[in-house]
Amino acid sequence: MRKPLSLLVLLGAVLVLQACAPAEQPGSTLDEIEAEVRARTEALVAAEEAFDWETAVTFFAPDVVVQPANAPQYQGREAHLEIYRTFPTMLEFEGIATAIVPAASGDMAYEYGVNRFVFDTPDGPVEDFGKYLVVWTKIEGEWFVTAFSFSGNAPPQG
């Protein structure tokens, strides 16, 4: 008789613990976080590939820190928009995320990947391949780029 009573007590305890456990919130698993960030990345890259700089810059936090290749670091969404606007000779752009790694905290993730640019020059189109590293931070429920670093694979000219 004791065994069935012990099993009932154990079963009751398990049910109580499950009822008291916090419900899993949307976006709380690492897979869900990765999917959220990937969706933001894809939307950002689509805007960049369309040369829609005004839309692309909205994916960056107001105080984003950007470290471009062969240039000084700058900070801020407006500064980044000005840099975007210096790309009038860009003919093509393609960015591909290699990996998105969410933090266990659920409010940050880093992403790295590769990119390809084609610029129009007086000597004809020039293609450049490179890589990037992005830090995404969840701010008031939405993911924004808070740090961005990129460089080309070719050695600097000159």
How does pLDDT run across 53-99, given as a tens digit for each residue?
999 999 999 999 999 988 899 999 999 999 989 887 888 889 899 99
CB burial of residue 8 (10 Å; 0-12, 13-18, 19+):
exposed
The Cβ-side half-sphere exposure at 55, using a 13 Å CA radius, reads 13
pTM to 2 decimals? 0.77
Q: What is the C-alpha to C-alpha distance for residues 82 and 77, in angstroms, rounded to an integer?
A: 9
Strands 74-75 and 90-102: unpaired
| The CATH number of domain 27-152, selected from 3.10.450.50, 3.40.1160.10, 3.40.50.11440, 3.40.50.720 | 3.10.450.50
User: Domain boundaries in the chain?
Assistant: 27-152
- Type of residue at 110: Y
Contact 142, 56 (CB under 8 A): no
